[in-house]
Amino acid sequence: MGQRYMIQDIFNAYNLQVTWIITVTASVLLLRFLTNQLHKWFVKKEYQRFPEDKPTSINLVKRVLNALWVVLGIICLSSLFVERDQDPLIIDNFKLVFYLGMVAVSTIVTAASVNMWFKQSVKRKILNQEDPTSYKFLRYVSIFAIYFMGTLFGLLIFPSLRGVAQTALGGAGIIAIVAGIASQEALSNIIGGLFIITFKPFKTGDIIRLSDGMVGIVADITLRHTVIRNFENKMIVIPNSIMNKEKLINFDLGDRKCCEHIEMGISYDSNVKQAKQIMQEVCENHPLIIDDRSEIELKDGLPMVKTALTKINDSTLTIRAWAWSKDFLDSFQLRLDVNESIKERFDAAGIVLAYPTRTVYIKKEESHMTAFEKAEQQPKKVTIESLGLF
């Protein structure tokens, strides 16, 4: 009986503290429960609109809010263990954390909404067969600007950093920031990206060939770099400052028709006219070939595929055929196909694809030679293969 009265006395003595603990704990649990329920609802709604995307921003907002409720609850509970003259400090800390949490959530939500709008705009552009490159680039610019502004607004709450944030938010501050970045490579990449978007030497989806011979499809253009997917499905990331100076070939800029040079090196003993005829026939019979002759050329009866002897080399005669196709991909496939077909036709016609040869003369003084050696001294034609060089 005495123990029960003791517990009751303790409860009566700390009634306010116990009530405060229960209230704060219940409030935190309720807020976390509501946050999780809202998260499930938003995820379901987001999945219905964009089933292919992961709800990354929504998950991030959920984690921030759940962490915010716990931290605010701990701050509220800490008031039980400090003197009453410290209550203003507890309130200031509560306001500080709540402000930072709301700024973070607002920034994430705003950036996610802008990103969603740009995604929808890009999809509409693609459906309407329009160029979405500008929208893709502006999406990165807008999201960067939103997070930058959110960071500055977060700094406003700190007295020691308030002056920096206010200066940065002003026009002079922005100019100072740009001047500070100007000495760094980051600004050159951003300016390079703006030039690419403005003057459009290439856009997303274009097939380009760089000066080092690499060929690929432009997958994305960001604030810092350009992403190229090559035909091995590898992503090549190149800074915009380099791409802006790069000498490249854009196979999709303007007229997409592509002329493929089909070249074969035949031996001196082979029939040049027959080789030209075979290459012309094989190219003209390929399904990917297109007729690029002008009206005058058609009237004059010129062939669809032009062939010519272009080079007389040390060991070979180079025959070239000019084969036109509708785009780079078709021309690439055409070259692969006709190379094999031409080789088969050459073998059947007795036309030899030449390889390098050398004539070697071995001379020895006759006084030291036998009759057999004198007979063997006659000039001999020796191929590189017989010398074991290849």
3-state DSSP assignment of residue 306: strand
Instruction: Find all residues with CB under 8 Å of 199, minimum gap 6, and list them.
Output: none
Instruction: Find all residues with CB under 8 Å of 9, minimum gap 6, and list them.
Output: none
What pLDDT score does 274 carry? 94
Q: What percent of the chain has pLDDT over 90?
A: 24
pLDDT (tens digit per residue) in 245-301: 888 899 888 888 999 999 999 998 899 999 999 999 999 999 999 998 888 888 888
Q: Is pLDDT above 90 for 159?
A: no
Q: Is pLDDT above 50 for 83?
A: yes
pLDDT band at 178 (very low <50, low <70, confident <90, very high): low
Q: Is pLDDT above 90 for 343?
A: yes
What pLDDT score does 389 carry? 44
- Alpha-carbon gap, residue 223 to 142, rounded angstroms: 10
* Contact in structure between 243 and 306 (CB atoms under 8 Å): no
* CATH code of domain 258-349: 3.30.70.100
Provide the CA 13 distance to its chain's centre, in angstroms.
Answer: 67
Give the H or E element holding residue 20.
helix 15-49
- Alpha-carbon gap, residue 20 to 303, rounded angstroms: 95
Provide the CA 123 distance to its chain's centre, in angstroms.
Answer: 18
Residue 38 corresponds to which tokens in the numbers above? Answer: 């809202």
The reply to whether the predicted model has a pTM over 0.75 is: no
Least confident span in 48-52, 177-181, 195-199, 322-326: 177-181
By residue count, the chain amounts to 390
pLDDT (tens digit per residue) in 91-139: 888 888 888 888 888 888 888 888 888 888 888 877 887 778 777 788 8
* CATH code of domain 201-250: 2.30.30.60
Spans of all domains in the chain: 2-195, 201-250, 258-349
pLDDT band at 371 (very low <50, low <70, confident <90, very high): low
Q: Is pLDDT above 50 for 390?
A: no
CA distances from 282 to 262, 271, 277, 293 (A): 11, 17, 9, 18
35-49, 183-197, 295-309: which is most confident: 295-309
What pLDDT score does 317 carry? 92
